Amino acid sequence: MNDQEQDWVEAARRGDKQAFGSLVQAYQRPVFNLTYRMLGSAEEAEDAAQETFLRAYSRLGQYDPEMKFSTWLFSIANHHCIDRLRKRRATYVSIEDNPVLENLPSDTQQPEHRALDQERSREMQALINQLDPDYRTPLVLRYWEEMSYEEIAESMGMTVAAVKSRLFRARQQLVALYQRRETVMPPPGMAQQSGRPIGRKETGVQHALHVQLGLAGL
């Protein structure tokens, strides 16, 4: 936490609403990205992000200055998203509207590169939506929010060893989900020879799984 952010936190804890507004402005995008990855719906993610800041403001008196403010804030967002997921009666999640893609450097990309990135992001989100919240949380915090194992452990209230274990199992689940998806829905145009498919190049989501999450060897 830099000096400016620390000043905002201290001022906000004294009741300075403008200082808290500065914190909201600084963290609104990271918090939204987290809630979107957790919930899969842009509209629900926006509501969850707003609720996260409301809860953070009401609990400023409980904030421990020894803890990174971002870790504390993500912890609130994480627990709120898990509550929402557990209350859902249906499992349908829309991934058509994806504001997270706004973070991609689209201005400098060729159209075909943008389309490939969007395909990978949609396919990855579809897989993440199927993970249990207990596994989804550390995965999102680690690979999208780039938090350390220690920060994730503090945010989730568990040991570093437990975080690493859940991440390992989350990656295994992603591989299993991907392989199941490929079996049920083989890519169009995949040639058949003697009743067996001819090998093909790695697809966008498979590449993302292996490169972004380091799944080789699992």
Residue scoring higher pLDDT (100 or 67)? 67
Domain 3-185+200-212 - what CATH class?
Answer: mainly alpha
Burial (CB < 10 A; 0-12, 13-18, 19+), residue 63, is middle
Residue 114 CA to residue 128 CA, distance in Å, equals: 21
Among 67-76, 82-91, 191-200, whose mean pLDDT is lowest?
191-200
What the block records as the tokens of 138 is: 């550390």
Q: How confident is the model at residue 95 (pLDDT cuts 50, 70, 90)?
A: very low
DSSP 59: T
Burial (CB < 10 A; 0-12, 13-18, 19+), residue 12, is buried
Q: How confident is the model at residue 112 (pLDDT cuts 50, 70, 90)?
A: low
Q: How confident is the model at residue 118 (pLDDT cuts 50, 70, 90)?
A: low
State residue 28's pLDDT score.
94
- Residue pair 151/68 in contact (Cβ under 8 Å)? The answer is yes
Please report where in the chains the tokens 């943008």 appear, as a residue. 114
Record the pTM.
0.62
Residue 106 CA to residue 114 CA, distance in Å, equals: 6
Residue 200 CA to residue 116 CA, distance in Å, equals: 17
Q: In sequence order, what are the beta bridge partners of 196?
A: 193
pLDDT digits (tens, 9 = 90+) for 49-58: 999 999 999 9
pLDDT digits (tens, 9 = 90+) for 164-199: 999 999 888 888 887 777 665 555 444 444 443 433
Contacts of 90 (CB under 8 A, 6+ apart): none
pLDDT digits (tens, 9 = 90+) for 133-151: 888 888 888 888 888 999 8
How far apart, in Å, are the Cα atoms of 56 and each of 69, 77, 79?
Answer: 10, 9, 12
Burial (CB < 10 A; 0-12, 13-18, 19+), residue 2, is exposed
Residue scoring higher pLDDT (100 or 74)? 74
Indicate whether 202 pLDDT > 90.
Answer: no
Closest residue by Cα to residue 37 from 109, 104, 90, 101: 101
Among 100-104, 180-184, 201-205, whose mean pLDDT is lowest?
100-104
Q: Stretch 97-121: mean pLDDT, rounded? A: 47
- Which H or E element spans position 27? helix 17-39
